[in-house]
Structure 1
Amino acid sequence: MPTEFIPANTSTQAAAPTRYRGAIWTLLVLAPVIAEVLSGSTRLSILFVLIPEIMVWGGGALLARELVRRWRAGATSLLCLGLALSIAEEFIIQQTSIAPLPFPGANADFARFWGINWVYLLFMLGFESVWVVLVPVQITELFFPDHRELPWLRTRGLIATCIAFLIGSRIAWYGWTQQARPKLHAAPYHPPAALILIGLASIAALIFVAYLLRGYGHSGQIASRQPASPWLLGIKAFIFGAAWFALITLVFVPHPGLAVWIPLTAGPAWALISFILVRYWSAARGWRDVHRFALSFGAILGCMATSDISSAGWTRVDLIGKFVFQFCALVGLLLLARKVWQREAANHIDCP
């Protein structure tokens, strides 16, 4: 469910680094918290992995947003960069979509052919591009609306972020492939050079496509169209987001007799419909921050709801941590909602 952005203005140089420090750190933290903590992938008992996740997910989301702002691009370009980040994770960094799945109870052979876990990869492409990049960027820009149209990094900050991303990627690779997989009794895996090359080529192609589409995907361009109610948008985002997680259940819950082509066809179709609808809604001239918030809020709720369904075997500590994290997230989102609605009300008064 890609969210749309206001076109960047002609200023492409960030001001003093301290001016954007709050926005930068907010995005660095929100990217892994929304995607990993609120989804239940990172639990309280292993919260230490949040450090490399901030470096990889937070740094990757920040770099993607930086490129989009410097190119004066829209959400379509950001989506492409999010997909590139997902390919980097799945093929290069942790290689979870090309190595045999080691998770207990996983149906490792389902939809695995040509050395790729296709259903798992499909789910991760949507999950990591939306909940790691699109939604955290949108929420951060709603917290800092005055900085929305500008890049936040100078050259030194850009270099430092790239270095941190590479170091975090190395830590994540070692922690998963050399430490976690053996503890799960997985056989050593050495990815074929061809798959690594395919991953690198896909990343380069997606970055190039993101640049080519920099003039597409800006919001509020069709004056004759009015967006739907924010409440309705939030409900639709929840439905579209929560339904996406049905893909990952196919990996962990056996479905005898289910043909592989069904999820591999339905998944991309669902993603395409989501993209087209969000693009249609956000193209309306009346698209505002309340609509952006509603779309992001619904997507986050959909992500959180799936963690409740999959938490049956969690320890008591992890369950308590999950509810605490979700409660804090809801409080923060409601405070943001109040801020957004107050800002919209003030703008309405100033511009009758």
Structure 2
Amino acid sequence: MQTESVSANTRLQAPAPTRYRGAIWTLLVLAPVISEVLSGSTRLSILFVLIPEVMVWGGGALLCRELVRRWRASATSLLLLGLALSVAEEFIIQQTSIAPLPFPGANPNFGRYAGVNWIYFLFMLGFESVWVVLIPVQVTELIFPDRRGQPWLRKRGLIATCVAFLIGSRIAWYGWTQQARPRLRAAPYHPPPALILLGLAAIAALIGTAWLMRDYGHSGQIDSRQPVNPWIVGIKAFVFAAAWFELIGLVFVPHPGLAAWIPLTASSIWAFLAFAIVRYWSAAKGWRDIHLFALSFGAVLGCMLMCDISAAGWTRVDLIGKLVFQSLGVAGFLLLWRKVWQREAADRAPGC
């Protein structure tokens, strides 16, 4: 989703200590806020979990972006690194895609095969790579456009981010596997070593592929192609996002007679189609920040709308908190839209 290429003259030396601090902290906070708070996964009553989420999701997104900028890579590499972060979460950290699902109302056997919750895992691959990594990185770079092409971390910052990520991962593992699952009356689960090794191998393969594909998918390369209208970009992003959340609904809403391979196949095709369309759009020479904004805003709106449907049974406090958080999120996006629009209008002004 982030489609800004890194210019050839990008400076890769260590940045000044405070030059990128605002951008760094913005991304650290936006990653869990967009993915967890605006979606309602993290409610007001458990907002304290935002601390390890900043360490894991924020730190993970920051590390993914840092690698992409140091490699001078494109959005394709960022997507692959986001998928690697998702595999780490689902197989290594919280193990939610390999342990039997403990959620009330869930059908833990639907789509579970060879020790993996395949429908849940496929949904999380898309959700965590897009709403945890791609969109927060893209929004942060729209807020700080003059810093989008450079790495933000010095050596000490890189080490500190890695340490915080590992500590946050340990906290998240303990909080979910040792605290939350027992409270949900889930049976103790000990992951098979083979699945852990499979997860580690997948992470390594995705990181390696991201590096190999670092030159693929830079934006604005085809002069003859006209950019699509930003409104169309936003609407289609909304549709693609909203439809993706139908996949997780299959885990909670029984569909007698529906074979798991059908939604798995259809969703995989849907994801590939979304990637191909965005890749085609972004290759146009006139692909601009307003398109990036529309892409992000449409996807976030789709996420919020579909998650609002599943809010039945929430406490009054959590419902009010969700309304407040989402209202603030929409207001923030509208302010960003104004900033992007004014910036582009200034660039188009005569004499600029």
Give the TM-score normalised by the residue count of structure 2.
0.99
User: What does residue range 1-352 of structure 1 map to in structure 2 within 5 Å?
Assistant: 2-8=1-7, 9-350=9-350
CA–CA distance in structure 2, aligned partners of residues 351 and 163 of structure 1 = 48
Matched-pair contact (CA < 8 Å) for 1:110–1:260: yes
CA–CA distance in structure 2, aligned partners of residues 312 and 49 of structure 1 = 22
CA–CA distance in structure 2, aligned partners of residues 78 and 10 of structure 1 = 18
Higher mean Cα deviation, 138-147 or 5-14?
A: 5-14
CA–CA distance in structure 1, aligned partners of residues 306 and 168 of structure 2 = 27
For structure 1, the 5+ residue unaligned runs are none
CA–CA distance in structure 2, aligned partners of residues 40 and 233 of structure 1 = 25
Matched-pair contact (CA < 8 Å) for 1:65–1:137: yes
In 2 relative to 1, CA 306–14 (structure 1 residues): closer, same or farther, beyond 3 Å? farther
Cα deviation for residue 14 of structure 1 reads 3.7
Q: Percent identity?
A: 77
Q: Which amino acid in 2 is paired with 1:31? A: A
Cα deviation for residue 13 of structure 1 reads 2.1
Matched-pair contact (CA < 8 Å) for 1:6–1:74: yes
Find runs of 4+ consecutive structure 1 residues off by over 3 angstroms.
none
Matched-pair contact (CA < 8 Å) for 1:4–1:218: yes
CA–CA distance in structure 2, aligned partners of residues 228 and 351 of structure 1 = 26
Deviations 1:165-202 (A, max 9, x none): 00000000000000000000000000000000000000
Find the residue that maps to 1:52 and give its secondary structure.
helix
Cα deviation for residue 15 of structure 1 reads 1.8
Cα deviation for residue 350 of structure 1 reads 5.0
Matched-pair contact (CA < 8 Å) for 2:5–2:73: no
CA–CA distance in structure 2, aligned partners of residues 305 and 331 of structure 1 = 16
Deviations 1:28-56 (A, max 9, x none): 00000000011111000000000000000
CA–CA distance in structure 1, aligned partners of residues 58 and 15 of structure 2 = 21
CA–CA distance in structure 1, aligned partners of residues 110 and 104 of structure 2 = 14
Find the residue that maps to 2:349 and give its secondary structure.
helix
Cα deviation for residue 4 of structure 1 reads 1.0
CA–CA distance in structure 1, aligned partners of residues 64 and 4 of structure 2 = 14
Q: Which amino acid in 1 is paired with 2:2? A: T
CA–CA distance in structure 2, aligned partners of residues 169 and 350 of structure 1 = 51
Find the residue that maps to 2:222 and give its secondary structure.
coil
CA–CA distance in structure 2, aligned partners of residues 300 and 109 of structure 1 = 30
Matched-pair contact (CA < 8 Å) for 1:14–1:150: no
Matched-pair contact (CA < 8 Å) for 2:65–2:78: yes
Q: Which amino acid in 1 is paired with 2:208? A: F
For structure 2, the 5+ residue unaligned runs are none
CA–CA distance in structure 2, aligned partners of residues 45 and 29 of structure 1 = 18
Cα deviation for residue 315 of structure 1 reads 0.4
CA–CA distance in structure 1, aligned partners of residues 313 and 13 of structure 2 = 49
Cα deviation for residue 351 of structure 1 reads 6.1
Find the residue that maps to 1:17 and give its secondary structure.
coil
CA–CA distance in structure 1, aligned partners of residues 350 and 14 of structure 2 = 28
Cα deviation for residue 156 of structure 1 reads 0.3
CA–CA distance in structure 2, aligned partners of residues 253 and 3 of structure 1 = 33
Query: How many positions carry a matched residue from both structures?
Result: 351
Q: Which amino acid in 2 is paired with 1:176? A: W
Find the residue that maps to 2:19 and give its secondary structure.
helix
Q: Which amino acid in 1 is paired with 2:317? A: V
CA–CA distance in structure 2, aligned partners of residues 166 and 53 of structure 1 = 12
CA–CA distance in structure 2, aligned partners of residues 260 and 319 of structure 1 = 32
Deviations 1:196-220 (A, max 9, x none): 0000000000000000000011110
Give the TM-score normalised by the residue count of structure 1.
0.99
Q: Which amino acid in 1 is paired with 2:158? A: L
Q: Which amino acid in 2 is paired with 1:71? A: W
In 2 relative to 1, CA 158–260 (structure 1 residues): closer, same or farther, beyond 3 Å? same
Q: Which amino acid in 1 is paired with 2:58? A: G
Matched-pair contact (CA < 8 Å) for 2:10–2:149: no
Matched-pair contact (CA < 8 Å) for 2:87–2:199: yes
CA–CA distance in structure 2, aligned partners of residues 350 and 27 of structure 1 = 34
